[in-house]
Structures are given as structure tokens and as C-alpha cells.
Chains A and B, each alone.
Chain A
Amino acid sequence: MSLTVWTVIFTSNNSAFGYSKESMITYIFLVAFLQSMIIASSLNGLASRLYSGEISNYLLKPINLFGLFAIQEIADKIKNLLFLFLESLFLFLIFKPIIVFPDLKLFLLFLIWSFGGLILNFIITLLFGSLGFWSPQVWGPKFLFFMILDFTAGKLFPLDILPIMLQKIIYLTPFPYLSFVQIQLFLNRLNSQDILKHTVILVFWIFILGTITNKIWKKGLKSYESVGI
């Protein structure tokens, strides 16, 4: 839908919101790709697995729980990659977009930032999953999270077309670092100062949320009880 919407907008305009047609179509392609790779997660049902006692089985085994989740997540990403390739090929043949690639240095940094986004999303998913230690009612926070993510990660439109005030608020959250800033880097829309700033902020979010998640999980596991599973 996003591809069609933006294609229609650009049929009567050479540029809109500071984007050329090529860069906007590249943006939409990349955002679909990154969101499927970074945000789609096999751990979305983690909270109910915790609350139902399903993880007791894993806790009894001599394996690291986070390591297990990470492996499950990697397996899921590999599976997604195959479908994503087919889907992208299909859309590519229909829309025939001209995707402008950055130079090798930026492209490598883009891959590193994307990996950072992947770790960040993994941590956020674990954080939300930890709610399952204390409550079965996790669909409310999860729904809110997905709604916020839909817009603040730049799925339908790039965040920099929003009013400045709204952009500032969104940048106070980790969500733009789940795909939006990576694409800005790919499209060569960041100067060296921005690149440095966003690298620091991405690492900051991974560190802060990682520490919080680790503490909450330790607390959750201490209060975890299951009977007759």
C-alpha cells in the first residue's frame, strides 16, 4: 500500500516532503525490508509462554535462556529472509524502482546499524515479554507498543516529514533506531555529525534497555513459580 500511495503522490510531483521519487521509493522498499528483518520477532508470544509456565522446561536444562531466545530469533530471521526475498522480488518487478546505493563505507555502517537495530528490538521484545512474569494481561501494552512502532519507526512515511515538535518527541524514544535512522544513512541524508550522534544514541539505548531488561528478568525469575508442568 505504501508503495502505491507514494507512487501516486509522485506521479504529479517530482519531489515532495524533501524527497525525490527515487529516494522515497528506495525508502519504502528498505523500510519494508528492515521492518521484516528487525521488528518481526518469534518472541512476540513470550509473555504468555512465561505466564503459562511453558519456560519451566527450559529453566531445568543447562542452557542460557537468553542464548536460547537469541537462537530462536536468528532462526526466525533466516526464515523471514527467504520470504522477504521473494516478496521484494515480486514488488521489484511490479514497481521497477531505481534504488540508489550509498558508497561502500556507508553501506557497511548501514549493516552495522541494522544489526544494532536488531539487538535493540530483541531487548525491547524481552522487556515486554517479562510482563508475563507478573500478569497474563499483556495484549494491552503489546497493542500500544505495536501502534507506536507502526508510526514512530517510519513504516508508512519517513519521520522527517512530520512537524519538528513531533519529530523531537519521537527522537526521545528508541523507536527511530529500529529502522528509520538506518534508512536515512542509506539514503545519504545524514552528515558526519549526525552519524556520530546517532551511533552514540543507538549504543546508549542498547546499553540502557539491556541493563534494565537484565535486571527485570533476574527479578522475574526470582519470583517465578510453576507447578506440575
Chain B
Amino acid sequence: MRLKTYFNVWKIFGFNAIQENLVNRGSNILFMIGKVLRFSFSLIFLFLIKNTVSSFAGYTSAQMIVFFLTYQFIDLISQIFYRGTYVFSNEVRLGSFDAYLTKPINPLFRALTGKPDINDAIFMIPSLAVSFYIFNNLDISVTWLSLVWYLILVTNGLLIITAINILILSIGILTTETEGIIWIYRDLSSMGRFPIGMYMQPLRFVLFFIIPIGMMITIPTEVLLGVKPSFSIFVTILVGVGSLIASLKFWNWALKKYSGVGS
């Protein structure tokens, strides 16, 4: 029953976002073209490497493309649902967050999912279609079991993304400034386009355990490809669930430190 209420509320956020997009049609079309270009150029680069280099950090060139496709999928999901994170610190500064606290829904839900990105939701359709087409034409073999584990670990990756976004929101409450940290996260997460194992230490450790991009993207892809994962599935799930619990605790603590601006 409560879940249905939240779904209905999220639908309202979605409709609002669609209306906003329709008002700014021109800008949104250009935004979409930008997304398509970025995806296309990244693929061109990967295919150029594939055709020139036979192996890359111990993986075949075809396997490397799967790492990129997984990154693309997880990143898009995060952009579609958690766009609100980008503007949250501004809402804290302006006092709009005060209003969230007075509503009978969880303020974290509102802050996290209040601004779904419709452009990315639309872009998801051609992106998935192209990804499936490429995946089907790659020289790799996948078993049903590895596919099931892949889906479980991608879901675990989404837990990690949720945790990171909650962490950013909490920092937004404490400092009212998150732009810098969002850009650092975006830069670090883009490193997940390639297997994290190729980076040097201590960066590799950071990308597996501090900002666990590796657990989000590299491990699920390794399992899908039947390659021995960099860390066990147990550790990966432990990091996923653990980071979500820790981030929720941090959010609750940060919320207690919040002082409204009386708007």
C-alpha cells in the first residue's frame, strides 16, 4: 500500500519532468544529440582499439566493449532516477528542502528521485537496442548462470549507486555545496568504462572499496564473461549492502544536523 503511494508520487515527479521537457524542447533535442554523439564516439574509439589491439589488460577487445556497455547501462539508470542529487544543494540553500520535510513522504525519497531525467529515459531505448545488437555480434560466450549472476550483481551495483547518491545528498545538507564532489564522482565513475584492474594502486583500491565503481561495473562484467572476478561475489554483495546501510545511517545523522532557513 505504502509502496503504491510512493509509486504514484514518483509518477507525478515524472509527469512534471515531462512537462518541463516539453517546454524546453529545443534545448532538450540538442541535449539528446549530445548524448548520442558521446555514445557513438565512445563506441567508435572502442571499435578502433578492438580492430588494432588483440588484448587489453588481460581481456580480449570484445570483452572490453562489454565493460563499456555495462558502464553505459548503470550510468544511465543512475541519471534517470537520481538526477535530483545534482540540484539538491541548491534546494538546501534556497530553503526548498524545508518544504520536503513537512510532507508526508520520506524526504530522502523526494530529494533522491524528485527530478527524474526524461532525456536519459528516452535515450535509454536506443542505447539498449544498440547495446544488445553489439553484444550479440561480439565474439564472446555467455551461460545462463553467468547471466543470472550478472543481473544480481548489476542490481547490487544499483544499490551502490544509490548509496553514493545518498552520501552526496547528506554532504549537501552538511555543507550546502556538492557541485565539486559530484564532478569528482562523475570523473571517477567514468573510469569504470574500462576494467578497474588496469589502474595502478592505490587508485585501484579506491575504485574498488572507497568509491566502489569496480564493484558496480567491473565485477558484474567479469562474472558475465566467465572471467575470475577481481573480488568474490560475497565481498561484492557485502560492499553493496554495506554501503547502502552506511549511507542511510549517514543521511539520518546529517538530517539531525540540518537547520532550515525558515522559507
Complex interface residues of chain B between 14 and 34 (CB less than 8 A to chain A): 24, 26-31, 33-34
B144 at the interface (CB under 8 A from A): no
* Docked pose: A35 CA to B113 CA in angstroms: 34
Considering only CB atoms, which chain B residue lies closest to A152 in the complex?
B41
* Minimum CB–CB distance for A151 against chain B, Å: 4
Once the chains bind, are B41 and A151 in contact (CB under 8 Å)?
A: yes
- A157 contacts which chain B residues (CB < 8 A)? 45, 48
B26 in complex: contacting residue of A16, A94, A137, A146, CB < 8 Å: A137
- B38 contacts which chain A residues (CB < 8 A)? 147, 150-151
Once the chains bind, are A4 and B24 in contact (CB under 8 Å)?
A: no
Considering only CB atoms, which chain B residue lies closest to A145 in the complex?
B34
Once the chains bind, are A4 and B53 in contact (CB under 8 Å)?
A: no
Complex interface residues of chain A between 87 and 115 (CB less than 8 A to chain B): 94
| Chain A positions 12 through 35: 1 when the CB is less than 8 Å from some CB of chain B, otherwise 0 | 110011000000000000000000
Once the chains bind, are B48 and A161 in contact (CB under 8 Å)?
A: yes
Once the chains bind, are B53 and A9 in contact (CB under 8 Å)?
A: yes
A140 at the interface (CB under 8 A from B): yes
- A138 contacts which chain B residues (CB < 8 A)? 27
Complex interface residues of chain A between 149 and 199 (CB less than 8 A to chain B): 150-151, 156-157, 161-162, 166
A144 at the interface (CB under 8 A from B): yes
What's the tally of chain B residues with a CB closer than 8 Å to chain A?
A: 30
* Docked pose: A144 CA to B41 CA in angstroms: 13
| Chain A positions 117 through 146: 1 when the CB is less than 8 Å from some CB of chain B, otherwise 0 | 000000000000000000001111101101
A5 at the interface (CB under 8 A from B): yes
Instruction: Given A143-B34, A161-B48, answer yes or no on A16-B53 (Cβ-Cβ < 8 Å).
Output: yes
- A17 contacts which chain B residues (CB < 8 A)? 48, 52
* Docked pose: A148 CA to B36 CA in angstroms: 11
- B27 contacts which chain A residues (CB < 8 A)? 137-141
* Minimum CB–CB distance for A123 against chain B, Å: 20
Once the chains bind, are A4 and B31 in contact (CB under 8 Å)?
A: no
Once the chains bind, are B52 and A16 in contact (CB under 8 Å)?
A: yes
* Docked pose: A227 CA to B38 CA in angstroms: 40
Q: Which of B164-172, B192-200, B224-232, B250-258 contacts A (4 or more CB under 8 A)?
A: B192-200
Instruction: Given A139-B31, A140-B31, A162-B44, answer yes or no on A4-B37 (Cβ-Cβ < 8 Å).
Output: no
Residue of A9, A94, A143 with highest tally of chain B CB at under 10 A: A143
Once the chains bind, are B57 and A8 in contact (CB under 8 Å)?
A: yes
A82 at the interface (CB under 8 A from B): no
* Docked pose: A7 CA to B56 CA in angstroms: 10
A12 in complex: contacting residue of B29, B31, B55, CB < 8 Å: B55
- A12 contacts which chain B residues (CB < 8 A)? 53-55
Instruction: Given A9-B56, A141-B30, answer yes or no on A147-B48 (Cβ-Cβ < 8 Å).
Output: no
B124 at the interface (CB under 8 A from A): no
* Minimum CB–CB distance for A8 against chain B, Å: 5
Once the chains bind, are A1 and B26 in contact (CB under 8 Å)?
A: no
* Minimum CB–CB distance for A18 against chain B, Å: 10
Instruction: Given A12-B55, A150-B38, A151-B41, answer yes or no on A1-B29 (Cβ-Cβ < 8 Å).
Output: no
Considering only CB atoms, which chain A residue lies closest to B195 in the complex?
A8
**Which residues of B does A touch, CB under 8 Å?**
24, 26-31, 33-35, 37-38, 41, 44-45, 48-49, 52-57, 190-191, 193-194, 198-200
| 28 A-B residue pairings within 8 Å (CB atoms) | A1-B191, A1-B194, A4-B194, A4-B198, A4-B199, A4-B200, A8-B57, A8-B198, A12-B53, A12-B54, A12-B55, A16-B52, A17-B52, A137-B27, A139-B27, A140-B26, A140-B28, A140-B30, A140-B34, A141-B30, A147-B34, A147-B35, A148-B34, A148-B37, A150-B38, A157-B45, A161-B48, A166-B44
Ordered nearest first, which 3 A-B pairs have the shortest CB separation? Answer: A140-B27, A140-B30, A147-B34
Given contacts A137-B24, A139-B27, A140-B31, 8 further A-B contacts (CB under 8 A): A8-B57, A9-B56, A139-B31, A140-B24, A143-B31, A144-B31, A150-B41, A162-B48
